[in-house]
Amino acid sequence: MSTGFASPARQGRSVTGARRSAPPGGVRARPAAVLAVVAAGALVVLGLWWAGTPSVSGLDGWLTGAGRITGLLAGYGFAVLLALMARVPALERGVGSDRLARWHSMGGRYVVGLSVAHALLIIWGYAVTDGADVVNETVTLNLSYPDVLKATVALLLLVGVGIISARAVRPRLRYETWFHLHFYTYLVAWLAFGHQLANGAEFLTFPAAGTAWTVLYVAVAALIVWYRFLTPVRQAFRHRLRVAAVVPEAPGVVSVYVSGRRLDRLRAEPGQFFRWRFLTRDLWWSPNPYSLSAAPRSGELRITVKDLGDQSRALTRLRPGTRVVAEGPYGAFTAARLGRRQGSGRRARRGRKVLLVAGGVGVTPVRALFESVPAAPGDLTFLYRARSWDVLVFRAELEAIAAARGAALHYCLGPRSEIGDPFRPELLAHRIPGLRDHVVYVCGPASMTAQVVSALRAAGVPKKRIHHESFEF
Mean pLDDT, rounded, of the chain: 86
Closest CA to 210 of 220, 198, 197: 197
Count of other CB atoms within 10 angstroms of residue 294: 25
Judged against a pLDDT cut of 70, whether residue 21 lies above it is answered with no
Q: How far is it between the farthest Cα atoms of the chain?
A: 85
d(CA 358, CA 304): 14
Looking only at the bridges linking them, the beta strands covering 380-386 and 353-359 are: parallel
Count of other CB atoms within 10 angstroms of residue 230: 11
**pLDDT score recorded for residue 346:** 43
Judged against a pLDDT cut of 70, whether residue 237 lies above it is answered with yes
Residue spans of alpha helices (H) in 325-445: 363-372, 395-405, 416-419, 425-431
**pLDDT score recorded for residue 7:** 59
Percent of the chain scoring above 70 in pLDDT: 89
Closest CA to 253 of 360, 119, 113: 360
DSSP-derived 3-state class of residue 422: coil
**pLDDT score recorded for residue 4:** 61
**pLDDT score recorded for residue 46:** 95
Judged against a pLDDT cut of 90, whether residue 442 lies above it is answered with yes
Average of per-residue pLDDT across 422-433: 89
Judged against a pLDDT cut of 80, whether residue 468 lies above it is answered with yes
Q: Are 69 and 49 in contact (CB under 8 A)?
A: yes
Q: Give residue-wise pLDDT tens across range 264-278.
A: 899 899 999 999 999
Judged against a pLDDT cut of 70, whether residue 219 lies above it is answered with yes
Angle at 340 between CA 442 and CA 429, to 5 degrees: 35
Closest CA to 16 of 276, 265, 255, 253: 255
**pLDDT score recorded for residue 347:** 40
Q: Are 452 and 426 in contact (CB under 8 A)?
A: no
Eight-state DSSP code of residue 225: I
Q: Are 9 and 398 in contact (CB under 8 A)?
A: no
CA distances from 129 to 9, 133, 137, 140, 331 (A): 80, 10, 10, 13, 51
Average of per-residue pLDDT across 126-136: 92
Judged against a pLDDT cut of 70, whether residue 343 lies above it is answered with no
Q: Report domain 5-22+335-469's class.
A: alpha beta
Looking only at the bridges linking them, the beta strands covering 380-386 and 408-413 are: parallel
Helix, strand, coil share (%) of the chain residues, nearest 5: 55, 15, 30
Confidence of residue 220 (pLDDT cuts 50, 70, 90): very high
The domain ranges of the chain are: 5-22+335-469, 31-231, 237-330
Looking only at the bridges linking them, the beta strands covering 273-278 and 324-330 are: antiparallel
d(CA 177, CA 313): 17
Q: Are 366 and 388 in contact (CB under 8 A)?
A: no
Confidence of residue 340 (pLDDT cuts 50, 70, 90): very low
Average of per-residue pLDDT across 25-50: 90
Q: Hey, CA dihedral for 330, 333, 335, 337, is it positive or negative?
A: positive
**pLDDT score recorded for residue 2:** 42
Phi, psi of 330 (to 5 degrees): -125, 160
d(CA 182, CA 159): 12
Judged against a pLDDT cut of 50, whether residue 378 lies above it is answered with yes
Ordered strands of the 353-359 beta sheet: 5-6, 408-413, 380-386, 353-359, 438-443, 466-469
Angle at 252 between CA 97 and CA 302, to 5 degrees: 50
Judged against a pLDDT cut of 60, whether residue 473 lies above it is answered with no
Lowest mean pLDDT among 40-54, 61-75, 405-419: 405-419
d(CA 152, CA 308): 39
Does pTM surpass 0.85? no
Residues in the chain: 473
Judged against a pLDDT cut of 90, whether residue 152 lies above it is answered with yes
d(CA 215, CA 440): 42
CATH code of the domain made up of 237-330? 2.40.30.10
Between 172 and 262, the higher pLDDT residue: 262
Confidence of residue 10 (pLDDT cuts 50, 70, 90): very low
Between 55 and 327, the higher pLDDT residue: 327
Residues 195-204 as b or e (16 or more Cβ within 10 Å = b): bbbebbebbe
CA distances from 280 to 124, 254, 450 (A): 53, 18, 37
Judged against a pLDDT cut of 90, whether residue 348 lies above it is answered with no
Ordered strands of the 253-259 beta sheet: 242-250, 253-259, 300-306
d(CA 102, CA 327): 20
Lowest mean pLDDT among 137-146, 226-235, 265-274, 337-346: 337-346
